[in-house]
């Protein structure tokens, strides 16, 4: 079960969040929190988000999800980038406050747009010469470009990120295939790519003998758990 709480924003607004407690029996030494933001079209309660939050928490990660303000207000169109980044910063600050006095490490990321905003926040801190205090990023279906518009890349900030990054990308992702991502990641300090063979932007695999959604999710979640364990050192 997830524990609901609210996060105040600098604007005076509030957004809702969910805390999925780590199953410490499965990984007693992990002591790691992952903030996972939703994509552009769905809130934190979308089945993809809840499946990953529950799956990762069962593997020993504490997972925090939240709504960006536009979704909190029931709107469909995302807020401008600066407002999305400001919201994510407030979430990071709130989670740090909740963890005060602990030795938990903090990872950030999200699905599609949520992961992109997380990476932009960390990159902006690096450009400003400030430490974000983020130990790693988990990016699920990174939106490298809009579908059908490969010339509109969203990659300029990525080489600025010095924290380790894990990109999980479907081989059929219309927002950017693994082949398109690889040259971008080659210019990053510490980036790894996990490919979902046959997967689309949400890792759905087609075909008569294709693995089930649950099987695909489990494989990705195992890979994330193994990666954060290595990064944690």
Task: Single out the residue of 107, 111, 122, 67 nearest to residue 229, CA to CA.
Answer: 107
Which structural domain, as residue segments, surrounds residue 56?
2-232
Tokens of 224: 């994330």
Q: pLDDT value at position 233?
A: 53
Task: Single out the residue of 94, 155, 85 nearest to residue 125, CA to CA.
Answer: 85
What are the tens digits of pLDDT across the range 142-160? 999 999 999 999 999 999 9
Determine the Cα–Cα distance for residues 8 and 61; give it in Å rounded to an integer: 24
What are the tens digits of pLDDT across the range 182-201? 999 999 989 999 999 999 99
What are the tens digits of pLDDT across the range 44-67? 999 999 999 999 999 999 999 999
State how many domains the chain has: 1
For residue 1, name the pLDDT band (cuts at 50, 70, 90). Answer: confident
Burial of 79 (0-12, 13-18, 19+ CB in 10 A): middle
CATH number at residue 182: 3.40.50.1820
* Cα angle 154, 160, 163; round to 5: 110
Q: Which residues contact 123 (CB under 8 A, 6 or more apart)?
A: 157, 158, 160, 161
Least confident of 69-78, 128-137, 170-179: 128-137
DSSP tally for the chain: helices H, then strands E? 6, 8
Q: Which residues contact 31 (CB under 8 A, 6 or more apart)?
A: 102, 103, 104, 105
Task: Single out the residue of 22, 37, 137, 26 nearest to residue 87, CA to CA.
Answer: 37
- DSSP, collapsed to helix, strand or coil, labels residue 22 as coil
Q: What is the chain's Cα-based Rg?
A: 17
Segment 2-24 shows an average pLDDT of 96
Task: For residue 152, give the DSSP letter.
Answer: S
In this prediction the pTM is 0.96
Determine the Cα–Cα distance for residues 140 and 112; give it in Å rounded to an integer: 6
Task: For residue 213, give the DSSP letter.
Answer: H
For residue 133, name the pLDDT band (cuts at 50, 70, 90). Answer: confident
For residue 30, name the pLDDT band (cuts at 50, 70, 90). Answer: confident
Q: pLDDT value at position 100?
A: 85
């Amino acid at each position: 079960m997830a524990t609901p709480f609210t996060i105040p924003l600098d604007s005076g607004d509030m957004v809702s969040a969910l805390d999925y407690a780590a199953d410490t029996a499965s990984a007693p030494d992990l002591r790691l929190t992952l903030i996972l933001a939703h994509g552009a079209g769905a809130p934190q309660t979308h089945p993809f988000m809840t499946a990953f939050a529950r799956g990762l928490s069962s593997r020993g990660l504490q997972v925090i999800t939240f709504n960006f303000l536009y979704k909190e207000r029931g709107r469909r169109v995302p807020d401008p980038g600066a407002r999305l980044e400001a919201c994510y910063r407030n979430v990071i600050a709130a989670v740090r406050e909740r963890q005060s006095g602990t030795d938990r490490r903090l990872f950030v990321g999200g699905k599609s747009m949520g992961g992109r905003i997380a990476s932009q926040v960390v990159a902006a801190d690096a450009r400003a010469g400030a430490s974000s205090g983020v130990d790693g990023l988990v990016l699920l279906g990174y939106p490298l470009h809009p579908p059908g518009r490969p010339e509109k890349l969203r990659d300029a900030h990525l080489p600025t990120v010095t924290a380790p990054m894990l990109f999980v990308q479907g081989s059929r992702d219309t927002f950017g295939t693994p082949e398109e991502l690889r040259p971008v990641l080659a210019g990053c300090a510490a980036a790894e790519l996990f490919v979902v063979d046959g997967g689309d932007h949400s890792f759905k695999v087609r075909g008569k003998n294709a693995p089930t959604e649950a099987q695909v999710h489990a494989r990705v979640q195992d890979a994330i758990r193994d990666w954060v364990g290595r990064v944690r050192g």
